[in-house]
Structure 1
Amino acid sequence: MLVLTLLGTSPAMAQREPQQGMPAMVPAPAPAEPDAIPLYGKTTMGSAASEIWSKAGGVDYTVRNVTRPTLTPVLPDPAKATGAAVVVAPGGAFMLLAMDHEGWGVARALADRGIAAFVLKYRLLPTPRDESEAGNYMMRTMMAGLTDPTKPPSLTNPDAATDGREAIKLVRANAARWGVDPSRVGMIGFSAGAMTALQTVLTAGPQEKPAFFGYIYGPQARVDVPADAPPMFDALALDDPLFPSQGFPIAQGWLAAKRPVEIHGYQKGSHGFGLGVPGTTTTLVMDEFIAWLTMHGFLTRR
């Protein structure tokens, strides 16, 4: 289970192959991504040919070795569009992206609620091409980068935050095209995607920050919070084996900086619960995120 959660794959998948501890990563052809927009336009950066696609448990798409970042719009029905937008950053320890579980599925859930969603396929740390070799490599790398839960992980990827800032910039630059309000462009991230969202916030200039962000099962270690930090929605399962419960120091930092923050600590859900594990209150995470956005006025039509 720990190996599974480190990869950011859904706990439900583990039940399909309990003898393995995690679902098999079945090699798969790259899916069609007709709406994917190169994040840096025509600038030469990487290649889609570097990508290695698989299906976790033969079901959910994951991708490794991303060198050419993209942004994929998932837009709401214009009749119920709120004008808000959210960049979605999937997790996967900066070496894999759970594109279905924490990307496209999340984007569709947001669009269903009238929010324009944009799935960020950000650049990743390189891994071996062979699946079994890659699995062992990722496990060793992750364990080496997550030695002290009281401190931010040493496993990082500055390119991911650079891509996060560029994604916010791209959505704002095309706000009229996509029917969104540039002042209501936020971000939500899961696991390493949460870390990407956080670093996007911490490294962005005053006019570049997302208007708000969802920090879903990210590390809870305290960070230095800027005076202009955007509102944060912080959610974690208290039985998370990857980031063991130690309270919510990161949220306490937001409070100390007198910045808006909301905390949700679910009794059960483990790591990688995505839109929720059936039978647990983690299934409420999207509804609670939407309620929080509503409370702050981000979903008010203007």
Structure 2
Amino acid sequence: MRCLIFETIATVSLLTCSMMAFGQDNKSQPIAIRDAPKLPDYIEKPADASGIFAIYGSNGVPPGSEKWALHEQTSHTPGDKMVRNVVIPTVTVFRPEEGTANGTALVIAPGGAFHVLMMDNEGYTMARWATKLGMTAFVLKYRVQHTPADDAEWQKFAAKTFSELPKVSMGEIYPPMSHPGAEEARLWGEEDARQAIRFIRQHAKDFSIDPHKIGTMGFSAGGGISVNAGLRSDSLSRPDFIGAIYAGYRIVSPVPQNVPPLFIAIANDDKSVAPISSARLFEDWHKLGQSVELHIFSSGSHGFGTKHQNKLSDQWMDLFKNWLSYQGFLSGAINK
């Protein structure tokens, strides 16, 4: 099996997290889910989010993580926000303007080499874009590999770990292999992505979304968990569409027949995920006769996300919008 790790990191500061849920005022009405306790105020809350919710039941701790002695940490880096040491997986909800909702839910998984989550470029900014199209967006914080809590130790760890990340050659056809710790974290992330879809589908009425129009997309590591969550899912956790943006997915064979529609985008000059791996993913869907669209841009590098770089990859969001519209996810009544 193969996997991914990629993206660079900066300094972090400690922020303790909890496992409950909160709603807050913004341009949309706050969301209330019955029996969801309010999260502590020290959890960072985007001003325009409608709520943050733990996706697992009880106290929000996933099975197998009950003894983790960690706390979620957040830092503000130049041009982005970074989260690491996630213990309680959550979704941060962004809703469209009143009267513009089309019932589609989009789960967004940021990347970060399974060590961190890049929350702005590959998370919140994407969510705000999605709401302008009438979608309700859910930014997923999934479990990542454990890293030192102390800032000084973290910086040493990050410098060593990320300097050792593999760089792909143009001839490679799969995403790069990961080390064992990140391989394990990838499996956590896949299950958190499936659980996020289950949670949203179970609470479709609370979120005012169509339970048959729930898609997932992600960038880099997040793209990998989005693809693999869709490849290994049950009826409750199956996404209705997938977006794989420079995704470092795990090879699954055989690919199931009933895969959801898939949109793929990557840059040909990506040095962290082999561009041909996206073509292989396209091939898997194409051979099954399933809906798939692929864009390989001549320029853009790895991690272009929602940034505008005056490169050809800048147009991917417009193409994704067109694809979503063609698939019927940007219009229509909610089918409850």
Query: Is the TM value for this pair above 0.5?
Result: yes
1-side partners of 2:294 and 2:60: how far apart? 41
2-side partners of 1:62 and 1:160: how far apart? 17
Provide the residue aligned with 2:201 in structure 1.
172
RMSD, aligned CA: 2.6
- Contact kept, 8 Å, 2:270 with 2:300, in 1: the verdict is yes
Residue type matched to 2:287 in 1? Answer: A
Deviations 1:93-150 (A, max 9, x none): 1110001111111111101111100010001111123232231343266439x79943
State TM-score, norm by structure 1: 0.85
Provide the residue aligned with 1:273 in structure 2.
304
Residues 67 and 87 from structure 1, CA distance in 2 versus in 1: closer, same or farther, beyond 3 angstroms? same
State TM-score, norm by structure 2: 0.77
- Contact kept, 8 Å, 1:90 with 1:99, in 2: the verdict is yes
Residues 220 and 210 from structure 1, CA distance in 2 versus in 1: closer, same or farther, beyond 3 angstroms? closer
Within the alignment, does 1:85 sit opposite 2:97 as a pair? Answer: no
- Contact kept, 8 Å, 1:72 with 1:118, in 2: the verdict is yes
Residue type matched to 1:150 in 2? Answer: I
* Shift, 1:185, TM fit: 0.3
Higher mean C-alpha deviation, range 78-87 or range 187-196:
78-87
- Contact kept, 8 Å, 1:122 with 1:160, in 2: the verdict is yes
Provide the residue aligned with 1:37 in structure 2.
53
* Shift, 1:25, TM fit: 2.7
Provide the residue aligned with 1:111 in structure 2.
131
Is the partner of 1:133 in helix, strand or coil? helix
* Shift, 1:29, TM fit: 5.1
- Contact kept, 8 Å, 1:84 with 1:184, in 2: the verdict is yes
Within the alignment, does 1:66 sit opposite 2:47 as a pair? Answer: no
Deviations 1:197-251 (A, max 9, x none): 0111111024421000100011378643210000100000111111233371111
Pick aligned residue for 1:160 from 189, 197, 201: 189
Is the partner of 1:193 in helix, strand or coil? helix
Instruction: Name structure 1 gaps, 5 residues minimum.
Output: 10-23
Within the alignment, does 1:235 sit opposite 2:265 as a pair? Answer: yes
Residues 221 and 201 from structure 1, CA distance in 2 versus in 1: closer, same or farther, beyond 3 angstroms? closer
Which is richer in helix? 1
Within the alignment, does 1:27 sit opposite 2:13 as a pair? Answer: yes
2-side partners of 1:82 and 1:95: how far apart? 34
Q: How many residues align?
A: 282
Residues 259 and 234 from structure 1, CA distance in 2 versus in 1: closer, same or farther, beyond 3 angstroms? same
1-side partners of 2:98 and 2:266: how far apart? 32
Residues 232 and 241 from structure 1, CA distance in 2 versus in 1: closer, same or farther, beyond 3 angstroms? same
Provide the residue aligned with 1:53 in structure 2.
74
Is the partner of 1:299 in helix, strand or coil? coil
Provide the residue aligned with 1:291 in structure 2.
322
